[in-house]
Each structure stands twice: as C-alpha cells, then as structure tokens.
Chain A
Amino acid sequence: MKARVFITLKKGVLDPQGKAILGALRSLGFDEVRDVRTGKLIELELEGSSRDEAEKRIEGMCERLLSNPVVEDYRIEVD
C-alpha cells in the first residue's frame, strides 16, 4: 500500500522559502501569484491492506516524528 504525507506550515507561521520563491516567480513575470507556501511531501510504502488502519498508524507517525505540531500541519492520502 502506498501513502503520501503532506507537511505544511501552520497559518501565520512565516515561510521565508515561500517568500523567496514568490519573489523569484514575480521577477519572471508571473505577476498573478499572490502567495507561496512551501512544505514537504513524504511517500510511504506500507505493509497491510486496511486503509483505515494505515491512516491511523500514519497519524501516529505524524504526531511522533514526521511533523512538528508546534508549527506544522499534516494531511494524509492513502491509495
């Protein structure tokens, strides 16, 4: 089973990388870009067949290691 975890910065947390990318996009003429927020994509390959069980386990992984709940949110997608 494959799953993806998207780690993003919480609202209100400054993302200097996003700001730098925003500046670069604007300098290339992509003036329509209002804001850029960066994050991480973590791909997991898992044993087992229950999607619900996998989601629960991945939640545990996010809480304990994959994200820092002080500044980050996470979203899980299981195939």
Chain B
Amino acid sequence: MKFGVVVFPGSNCDHDAYHVLKHILGRDTEFVWHGRTDLKGFDCVVLPGGFSYGDYLRPGAIARFSPVMEMVVDFARKGGFVVGICNGFQILTEAGLLPGVLMRNRTLKFICDYVHVRVETTSTPFTSRYRDGEVLRLPIAHADGNYFADEDTLKILEDEDRIVFRYSTPDGRIEDSSNPNGALRNIAGILNRERNVLGMMPHPERACEGILGSRDGLRFFESIIDAIEGRPFL
C-alpha cells in the first residue's frame, strides 16, 4: 500500500499529511513533486493544503495545470483514491474533478480556528470509521472556503449522498451560526459521483494527535487504509 502527497510550489500542509501517514499510521508514503508525470504504484494521492502558486488568479487555478494534475485526473478516473484538503479541494474543483467552487469567505477574513463538522455519510472510503451524524472537531485555515455551486448541482450532491461534512454546532445542528465562511448548505466536504475523490476545507491531518488538540482526523485516514485493503464501505 502506498500513499502519495503531492507537493506544489506553495504547498504548506504536505509535511503534516506525510507525518500522519508515514509516522503515525506507519504506511509507505512518498512526496510527489508537481512536475512528476506518473503515479504508478500509488493507492491514494493527497493534494495538501497551502497556497499553490501563491493563489494567483484564483486558488488552485494555476496548480491544476501542473503536469502531475493530468496524472491525478487519470488516476482518479481509474478508481484511485484522491483526497484534496483545503487548497487541495480548491485545486480539485478547478480541475473539474469535483463540482462547484470555493469562493472568498463571506467575512473576507482568513480564518484559523477549530470548527465542528457533522459526518453526513459514512458510505465513503474516507469516513467508514465514523458514525453517521458524528460531530468532529477539526481545524480550518483558509480565506477561500465559501463553497458555491448552482441549485441543480447542490440538489445532485444531496440526492446522491455526496455531501460528506457540514459545519455544525458542537451538538450537531446545522445552523448559519455554525457556518464559518458562508458555504452554501454549510458544506465542508464533498465527493465525486464515483465516491473515490473527496475534497474538504477542514484539516484532518492536523487533528491526529492529542497534543495538537484533537484526534478526530485519525479515523479519516484509517478509513482510507481500510478501503485500500478492500474492506467494503458502501
């Protein structure tokens, strides 16, 4: 089993993801430079958080044309697991692997804080170790996390059970007051139709050790390991 963590110029959560996969979970993990043009041998690829290409033009707009992204699209089409966290989520939407767009936070401010998210579905390779409706405490750190998609797309996401996380109160209520950035329907994370590509704004890789304030992210990565090992998640 092998994980890849893509490194774009400006990625800054690549080492966090690598640390969790390699040192906490003890899995074979490799950094993948953005200029690389093959992903042979990988089971899961993580697009980490950061500010690829300085967020110039739009977050993710330039990174999506990195040579490695063509490989990531191909890898996803063949069923490989792809996770985009924060800037990684923005890149996945720009690349067309996930619908919608992450717009500027409604407050116009960069937010670095803990938030609560409710697990909306456990029928995914990324959340099978959680309970339906479970509330997680995860950090966010972004200026552009305000999820937007047209009404038709939102309906499809809901009908196909593709909304994975929503910003919630600590007791799991979905309210505007629990929405840090203005994301439509409090959306914090979504899946593609085939359920092998996930994008999310919160950072599970920064919530895997007690000393960092939360371990709620660990089961996210453990779920992926289960899926790679062939345990069913649907």
Residues of A within 8 A of B (CB): 13-14, 16-17, 20, 65-66, 68, 70-71
| Chain B 97-111 interface 0/1 with A at a Cβ cutoff of 8 Å (1 = within) | 001110111111000
B70 CB to closest chain A CB, in angstroms? 14
Cβ of B58 and Cβ of A68 under 8 Å apart?
yes
Residue contacts A-B, CB under 8 angstroms, 11 given = A14-B103, A14-B106, A16-B182, A65-B57, A65-B62, A68-B61, A68-B94, A68-B101, A70-B101, A70-B149, A71-B101
* Interface SS of chain B: loop
Cβ of B107 and Cβ of A70 under 8 Å apart?
no
B 103-143 contacts with A by CB, 8 A: 103-108
Give Cα A65–Cα B61 distance, bound, in whole angstroms.
7
With contacts A14-B106, A70-B93, A70-B100 known, what are 7 further pairs, Cβ within 8 A?
A: A14-B148, A16-B107, A16-B108, A17-B108, A65-B61, A70-B99, A70-B101
Contacts of A20 in B (CB 8 A): 108
B 53-111 contacts with A by CB, 8 A: 57-58, 61-62, 65, 93-94, 99-101, 103-108
Of A17, A20, A71, most buried by chain B (CB within 10 Å of CB) is A71
Cβ of B104 and Cβ of A71 under 8 Å apart?
no
B111 CB to closest chain A CB, in angstroms? 13
Residues of B within 8 A of A (CB): 57-58, 61-62, 65, 93-94, 99-101, 103-108, 148-150, 182
The 5 tightest CB contacts between A and B, nearest first, are: A70-B101, A16-B106, A16-B108, A71-B101, A68-B101
Cβ of B61 and Cβ of A16 under 8 Å apart?
no
Cβ of A16 and Cβ of B57 under 8 Å apart?
no
Contacts of A68 in B (CB 8 A): 58, 61, 94, 101
A78 CB to closest chain B CB, in angstroms? 21
Q: Which residue of B lies closest to A42 (CB)?
A: B57
B177 CB to closest chain A CB, in angstroms? 18
Cβ of B61 and Cβ of A71 under 8 Å apart?
no
Contacts of A66 in B (CB 8 A): 57
Give Cα A27–Cα B141 distance, bound, in whole angstroms.
31
Q: Which residue of A lies closest to B60 (CB)?
A: A68
Contacts of A70 in B (CB 8 A): 93, 99-101, 148-150
Cβ of A65 and Cβ of B148 under 8 Å apart?
no
Cβ of B148 and Cβ of A71 under 8 Å apart?
yes
Give Cα A13–Cα B148 distance, bound, in whole angstroms.
8
A61 CB to closest chain B CB, in angstroms? 11
Contacts of A13 in B (CB 8 A): 103, 148
A69 CB to closest chain B CB, in angstroms? 10
Contacts of B106 in A (CB 8 A): 14, 16
